[in-house]
Structure 1
């Protein structure tokens, strides 16, 4: 039997209770929309729960994704005023370092383009690097400081966003898998979803299913080439705050932008308020293979110790991994799908979903309510893949 919102009919069903789905629910409910969030697992049970919590401006090239990141930077700061401290928001800033003059020249050009697009970035000469990071390796050519880079605890952030959405009337239904998308006969317009427990009727469905975004799109009768991209993270024993910022070498930016399916690794090193140092991240397209990769872990450990020699003898207590929702052009799909009336997408953010979640939720809420979006949605349009861009 159809299930209805306790305050009346639903305006939208959001599929996915990760941080992106939670942000969509938060902003949609604050806009006065009646929404339900449905997930086959738990809150942050997929990519979000396996993330480091990066809120990065520093790795985004000028264009739509940087615009999205800058909007999210502002929104995350606003959220810290209303969400409890358990989200562990920390505006620690980022430091991108170059091992040689060739890398520094390329990084300088990259940072100049970002600055013109609105990012804050400041060159740090080699003799000033250790003022920012006392334990950083000697011999680096220089770097760039990004004060807008920040950090949250991703699972807690998702949970707090959903809690706030529920206080605004949202319904959250966990461990309830969507098995079908309901469509009206004739024009095929969305009219809700089907789960094992019945039907949820709504004129809009938001695909915030992360790495399963392609499967949900197929249920709606369309295609979105989301693929899983596996990544590992190392967690050290608790330490004094030996790493103050998010620190990584310039080649990480190229890894993020690469479309290669092969194993790539470039260490991002950061301390946490509780003491352990987090070391990520690798990237490889191996489907949903959850097997441990000793080579990926070895590369991360070596690269981290190269940046911070003090970490060479530190114990790694555990490792974890997850799957990032990859789209071929490295831009998420955000907004209405013109091929299926009533279907909206909010997925494909790869490793940037935690950082980009507030902007995505804000844009989806505007699209659902017919308001003017804060950014042009055309670069994120899901129909851009119709020519078969998935590789």
Structure 2
């Protein structure tokens, strides 16, 4: 007989989004279990850089979510008992010509109206912030609110600090259990049934497959990205620095390979170099073209990196939704089903605010911001 647990919520996915949802739900008094077919942070979270960005988001619902998360991450950095390598390093967006500076200026004006601190930086001031930057840049913007965490450690610490949360790792959910009226009653794995009146789909790139178990459509697609990791260096890169075309890549829906330099140092010394985006399904093969582009673009921004050794590369899959907004909240098509997935490359940054919105929905309390732009039912009709 499968073992049964008295629970309020079962979360599918032990990445940083699932971990944040577990943390806030448990802190609100809910009895929570987290189940994942792999380890903690075994998917997209473990392949991320740990970005907590407001700089790349235009004024609107995602930026509102990012600003809430930025505040919550600052609180979590003080609350969590373990080290998550939280760094309030700030971001620096740079432009190669005056036309791009002008475009960034308009982008920043909209962000400021939403509460973002964006400071224009002239060509001479760029080198004061980042002494090793290329000398021929036209200017840029400094974003003091940008920060970074070590994503796998952050997920693990959120779960460890969530009171009473039970983890079931290495167990794939094979079925969503139903009541007589079609409402969810829990999940089934090869080892057990976990019974609860609410099930949260926090499966990241595999969120569409979990939604399909419930008979609903959620068009989450994988978007592959590569990262280069250099040898340990003195702190040659002080901020998260990226070229302005990164903002356009984030907002693009193209399936083709896109790359724009995103360069940052880490407390341990190596420099991380991203970012590429392409929709190639779950193809895990190495793209030499993607790596070549990253190396060349990083060296163009920081000539000092041209002769630095790359120790390794890694890649993962961002959970992409067509309108570039995550699905957060209850799914009215199936009572008891909730979603927290589709954050693409912003899941680490948006995780705490996502957890707060999910917890508000579960407990019937007032959310910190309007959740309606993220409603999962904005996508396909039920396929049950």
Q: TM-score, normalised by structure 2?
A: 0.98
Match in the other structure for 1:61: 58
User: Take 2:81 and 2:249, find their aligned partners in 1: how far apart are those partners?
Assistant: 34
SS in 2 for 1:218: helix
Per-residue Cα deviation, 1:301-355 (whole angstroms, up to 9, x for no partner): 0000000000000010000000000000110000000111110000000000000
User: Take 1:129 and 1:105, find their aligned partners in 2: how far apart are those partners?
Assistant: 16
How many angstroms does 1:81 deviate by?
1.1
| Residues 12, 205 of structure 1: 8 Å contact kept | yes
Residue correspondences, number: 382
Choose which of 148, 168, 173 in structure 1 pairs with 2:168.
173
How many angstroms does 1:84 deviate by?
3.5
User: Take 2:121 and 2:74, find their aligned partners in 1: how far apart are those partners?
Assistant: 25
Match in the other structure for 2:68: 71
How many angstroms does 1:386 deviate by?
2.3
1:308 aligns with 2:305: no
Per-residue Cα deviation, 1:205-250 (whole angstroms, up to 9, x for no partner): 0000000000000001101000000000000000000000000011
Choose which of 91, 95, 98 in structure 1 pairs with 2:95.
98
1:148 aligns with 2:145: yes
Per-residue Cα deviation, 1:40-92 (whole angstroms, up to 9, x for no partner): 00000000000000000000110000000000000000001111352000000
Q: How does 1:197-208 map to 2 (within 5 A)?
A: 197-208=191-202
User: Which structure 2 residue ranges, 5 or more long, are not aligned?
Assistant: none
How many angstroms does 1:370 deviate by?
1.1
| Residues 69, 359 of structure 1: 8 Å contact kept | yes
Per-residue Cα deviation, 1:103-157 (whole angstroms, up to 9, x for no partner): 1111000011000001111000111101100000011111000000000000000
User: Take 2:95 and 2:78, find their aligned partners in 1: how far apart are those partners?
Assistant: 35
SS in 2 for 1:87: coil
Q: How does 1:195-344 map to 2 (within 5 A)?
A: 195-344=189-338
User: Take 2:113 and 2:370, find their aligned partners in 1: how far apart are those partners?
Assistant: 19
Per-residue Cα deviation, 1:13-47 (whole angstroms, up to 9, x for no partner): 00000000000000000000001000000000000
User: Take 1:267 and 1:339, find their aligned partners in 2: how far apart are those partners?
Assistant: 41
User: Take 1:355 and 1:102, find their aligned partners in 2: how far apart are those partners?
Assistant: 29
| Backbone CA RMSD of aligned residues | 1.0
User: Take 1:25 and 1:222, find their aligned partners in 2: how far apart are those partners?
Assistant: 23
User: Take 1:101 and 1:128, find their aligned partners in 2: how far apart are those partners?
Assistant: 15
Match in the other structure for 1:139: 136
Per-residue Cα deviation, 1:178-211 (whole angstroms, up to 9, x for no partner): 00001112x2111100110121100000000000
Choose which of 166, 184, 189 in structure 1 pairs with 2:183.
189
User: Take 1:75 and 1:2, find their aligned partners in 2: how far apart are those partners?
Assistant: 38
| Residues 72, 353 of structure 2: 8 Å contact kept | yes
User: Which structure 1 residue ranges, 5 or more long, are not aligned?
Assistant: none
User: Take 1:328 and 1:387, find their aligned partners in 2: how far apart are those partners?
Assistant: 15
User: Take 2:3 and 2:154, find their aligned partners in 1: how far apart are those partners?
Assistant: 28
| Residues 3, 201 of structure 1: 8 Å contact kept | no
SS in 1 for 2:83: helix
Match in the other structure for 1:81: 78
User: Take 2:358 and 2:170, find their aligned partners in 1: how far apart are those partners?
Assistant: 24
After superposing on structure 2, the runs of 4+ consecutive aligned residues of structure 1 that deviate more than 6 Å are none
User: Take 1:317 and 1:183, find their aligned partners in 2: how far apart are those partners?
Assistant: 49
SS in 1 for 2:373: helix
User: Take 1:102 and 1:183, find their aligned partners in 2: how far apart are those partners?
Assistant: 57
User: Take 2:250 and 2:307, find their aligned partners in 1: how far apart are those partners?
Assistant: 28
Match in the other structure for 2:364: 370
